[in-house]
Amino acid sequence: MSTPADVRAATPVPGSGHPPLLDVRGVRKVYDGRGRSVEALRDLTFGVAVGELVCIVGPSGAGKTTLLRCISGLLEPTSGEVVLQGEQVTGPPRGMAVVFQEYGRSLFPWMTVRQNVELPLKEKKVPRAERRRLVEEALEAVGLADVHTAHPWQLSGGMQQRVAIARALAYEPQVLLMDEPFAAVDAQTRADLEDLVRALWKRLGVTVLFVTHDIDEAVYLGQRVLVLSASPTVVLEDVVIDLPAERDQLTIRSLPRFAELRGHVYRLVQQAKRGGGAAASGPPGRAPEAM
């Protein structure tokens, strides 16, 4: 997959005439407990088209984790719905894989790298020969072809997170959800893993929804950045990231357009932290249909 994905970025889903692969419709979530209720999500509506890479940013407590849980079918919205390929999500859908921040806890330490990557395929009842091929391809794709007999604890944090990404890829998901996946690794590893995600996304054509609180990361990675307000949460703005399709850390991060977009998203997040609900002024790449 090369340019078509970035062409789609300029044509947000609501105006594209195609139904989105993932459709979040008026999702509201209220947590009830001990006589106190918390309205974590007020009204979230957005779509993600096939092959898009969309980032979600928002202040801490904005409901990013709640949203991902609703999308992955682990939590039932109080109202509204999540639709994947035309079907309402009511439990963990087969077509979805999630990469969490805490790679240390998401891999089984007693299993080798190969066994960790293979496990969901066994549960999916993929035949043995096919499993072998998928595991090898996924480990190759993340640059870990030579460590498949190692155990997770023998690897660095960045390598462990690569294993978690390989496990998600081997599953051949339609949608890959990533929940702050690089928050716990050092800056250089983080930059490498960001480039790995972009490379895999372009090569495999997988649809990615990437949650982060890091504004630079969201702008560097995404074709669109959804900025969430503070709780109770709505989408403050759907920002189209019109940076070149070919991205490398040094070139892209020194572009004036990168600085402009980052500044814009930063102002929105600041506004969200202050509890603002309206869109910030001077939108450089807004997708008005998606608001």
Which residues form the interface with ligand ADP (CB under 6 A)? 31, 33, 38, 40, 58, 60-66, 231
CB of 66 to ligand ADP, least distance (A): 3
In whole angstroms, give the CA distance from residue 172 to residue 160: 19
Helix, strand, coil abundance in the chain, percent, nearest 5: 40, 25, 35
CB of 47 to ligand ADP, least distance (A): 21
**CA proximity to 284, closest of 260, 268, 267, 266:** 260
Nearer to ligand ADP, 31 or 108 (CB): 31
CB of 35 to ligand ADP, least distance (A): 12
CB of 271 to ligand ADP, least distance (A): 16
Nearer to ligand ADP, 62 or 268 (CB): 62
Identity of the residue numbered 13: V
In whole angstroms, give the CA distance from residue 226 to residue 171: 26
CB of 69 to ligand ADP, least distance (A): 8
Nearer to ligand ADP, 176 or 230 (CB): 230
Nearer to ligand ADP, 39 or 195 (CB): 39
Identity of the residue numbered 237: E
CB of 100 to ligand ADP, least distance (A): 12
**CB neighbours of residue 269 within 10 Å:** 23
Q: Give me the residues paired with residue 176 across strands.
A: 97, 208
**CB neighbours of residue 57 within 10 Å:** 27
Nearer to ligand ADP, 45 or 65 (CB): 65
Identity of the residue numbered 52: E
**CA proximity to 164, closest of 130, 200, 218, 132:** 200
CB of 36 to ligand ADP, least distance (A): 8
Q: Give me the residues paired with residue 253 across strands.
A: none
In whole angstroms, give the CA distance from residue 12 to residue 289: 8
Nearer to ligand ADP, 46 or 171 (CB): 46
Strands 79-84 and 22-33: antiparallel
Nearer to ligand ADP, 100 or 171 (CB): 100
CB of 104 to ligand ADP, least distance (A): 19
In whole angstroms, give the CA distance from residue 23 to residue 53: 14
Strands 224-228 and 233-240: antiparallel
Tokens coding 231: 């709780």
Nearer to ligand ADP, 50 or 62 (CB): 62
